[in-house]
Amino acid sequence: MLIRAILLLVLLIPYMPLKADTVTLYTWAQYIAPTIGDKFYKDTGHVLNVVTYPNVTVRNGKLLQGRADVDLILMSSLHIHFMQKMGKLNDISSIPFDNKKHIDSRWLSYCGSYGIAYSWGTTGIAYRSSIATRKITSWKQFFEPESALSGRIVFSMDESTPVSMALLALGEPINSTSEHYLEKAVKLLNAQSTHVLAYEHGSIYAELNGTESKMAMTLTYSSDIFEIKRLTGNDDWVYVIPEEGGTLWVDCFGNPATRPLSAAALAFLNYINRPDIAALNAEYIKFSTTNTSALKLTSESYRNDPLLFPNPELIGKKLKVADYDRKTFTRRRNIARKIKESKKFD
């Protein structure tokens, strides 16, 4: 009887791997549902350690200097390709895991051989409808704002995105390399600086200031608008993709070259792409999932949200993925930084 009881107890204990390890994920703050870590541990025995970065500059700096002591790192497909060319990431395309089959091949293709698609979305303008005196429909209104929005604009200048959006306002494609239009974009950004409240991600500004926020317009990611509403306590935030268009982004998991992909990290990639887990995570964070099987398990309100899933025709015509070389990216980023550094805030 004792032996039978022991055998029964063993059978009732959840499966644990022969060796339990810690998986360290380097990502944006609040970019994975808080319950995922506990669920991952309960189901696999592995521990998920989430480390956050404040901006792209810090993240890329650690990776370039070989100081990214993590197993997995989340970054856009554009940065995945940059780091790949510089030998800072491992090729993980040939490493199989069961749930990879659930990821839409379209999003996987953006990440290439050095990344695994996690989420996607758009970049546009968010503004408070109770403060703006008219609807925002153009990037020109962002760079040359009406008086009601002047001094209340927030956006990050640590990346190349502001220059790309300035090019759109001037009627140029985001991937343009025209020197003439690049100079005009610089002038536009310099002139706009007098209307800027802070050069910071809108979501981070909202987190720092909460209900005391003075922000009324921001260049932001589609997935961040929900967090901005929650943190500021203002429900009048509206997200729009301007008539000139915007960018389509895909975030991917990458594996630093300094740390080969461990069995535990592979287990996490498999776990986060399990349809029920992927669905839970996407709905909680409010980003567009790359997992087609997970989409079927989400709520109707999530699937039908035009902010998360814009019209396919819009994606083809007005939303483009940033696709330029590292030299172009670095130049645009440096332009943005120079403008940021020259701005004197009260």
163 and 50, same structural domain? no
Q: Name the domain count of the chain.
A: 2
**pLDDT of amino acid 337:** 85
Tokens linked to 56: 């792209």
Query: Domain span at residue 259?
Result: 18-120+249-309
323 and 207, same structural domain? yes
Does the pLDDT value for residue 275 go beyond 60?
yes
262 and 126, same structural domain? no
Q: What is the pLDDT of residues 192-230, one digit of tens each?
A: 999 999 999 999 999 999 999 999 999 999 999 999 999
Does the pLDDT value for residue 104 go beyond 80?
yes
**pLDDT of amino acid 19:** 63
Are the beta carbons of 279 and 297 closer than 8 angstroms? Answer: yes
Name the percent of the chain lying above pLDDT 70. 94
- Residue 197: inside a domain: yes
Cα–Cα nearest to 222, from 124, 119, 321: 124
Look at the alpha carbons of 329, 335, 336, 341 in this order and tell me if their dihedral is positive or negative.
Answer: positive
What is the spatial distance between Cα 331 and Cα 98, in angstroms, rounded to a whole number?
Answer: 41
What angle in degrees, to the nearest 10, is found between the helix axes of 179-192 and 161-169?
Answer: 100
126 and 177, same structural domain? yes
**pLDDT of amino acid 344:** 64
Does the pLDDT value for residue 68 go beyond 70?
yes
- Residue 46: inside a domain: yes
162 and 29, same structural domain? no
- Residue 7: inside a domain: no
- Residue 253: inside a domain: yes
Q: What is the pLDDT of residues 280-319, one digit of tens each?
A: 999 999 999 999 999 999 999 999 999 999 988 888 788 8
Does the pLDDT value for residue 4 go beyond 50?
no
Look at the alpha carbons of 114, 116, 118, 124 in this order and tell me if their dihedral is positive or negative.
Answer: positive
Are the beta carbons of 241 and 319 closer than 8 angstroms? Answer: yes
**pLDDT of amino acid 241:** 95
Q: What is the pLDDT of residues 143-158, one digit of tens each?
A: 999 999 999 999 988 7
Q: What is the pLDDT of residues 46-66, one digit of tens each?
A: 999 999 998 888 999 999 999
What is the spatial distance between Cα 120 and Cα 122, in angstroms, rounded to a whole number?
Answer: 7
Region 106-129 average pLDDT: 97
223 and 155, same structural domain? yes
Does the pLDDT value for residue 331 go beyond 70?
yes
- Residue 12: inside a domain: no
pLDDT confidence tier of residue 94, bands split at 50, 70 and 90: confident
177 and 325, same structural domain? yes
pTM of the model: 0.89
- Torsions phi, psi for 276 (to 5 deg): -70, -35
Residue showing tokens 């995922």:
36
275 and 206, same structural domain? no
- Considering the chain, what is the average pLDDT of its residues? 91
Query: Rg for the chain (alpha carbons), in Å?
Result: 22
**pLDDT of amino acid 346:** 53
Residue showing tokens 């809108």:
202
- Residue 143: inside a domain: yes
Does the pLDDT value for residue 6 go beyond 80?
no
SS (HEC) of 147-189: CCCCCCEECCCCCCHHHHHHHHHCCCCCCCCCHHHHHHHHHHH
64 and 175, same structural domain? no
pLDDT confidence tier of residue 5, bands split at 50, 70 and 90: very low
273 and 219, same structural domain? no
CATH number at residue 46: 3.40.190.10
Q: Residue 12 is which amino acid?
A: L
What is the spatial distance between Cα 114 and Cα 94, in angstroms, rounded to a whole number?
Answer: 10
- Residue 10: inside a domain: no
What is the spatial distance between Cα 38 and Cα 48, in angstroms, rounded to a whole number?
Answer: 8
**String of b and e for 5-36 (b: at least 16 CB within 10 Å)?**
eeeeeeeeeeeeeeeebebbbbbbebbbbeeb
254 and 105, same structural domain? yes
- Give me the helices (H) in the chain, please: 2-12, 36-44, 56-64, 77-85, 105-111, 139-143, 161-169, 179-192, 202-209, 225-232, 263-272, 275-285, 292-295, 300-303, 312-317, 326-342
Which of the two residues, 176 and 39, has the higher pLDDT score? 39
Q: Residue 201 is which amino acid?
A: H
98 and 45, same structural domain? yes
Q: Residue 335 is which amino acid?
A: I
pLDDT confidence tier of residue 122, bands split at 50, 70 and 90: very high
SS3 71: coil
- Residue 2: inside a domain: no
pLDDT confidence tier of residue 70, bands split at 50, 70 and 90: very high
The shares of helix, strand and coil residues in the chain, as percent rounded to the nearest 5, are: 45, 20, 35
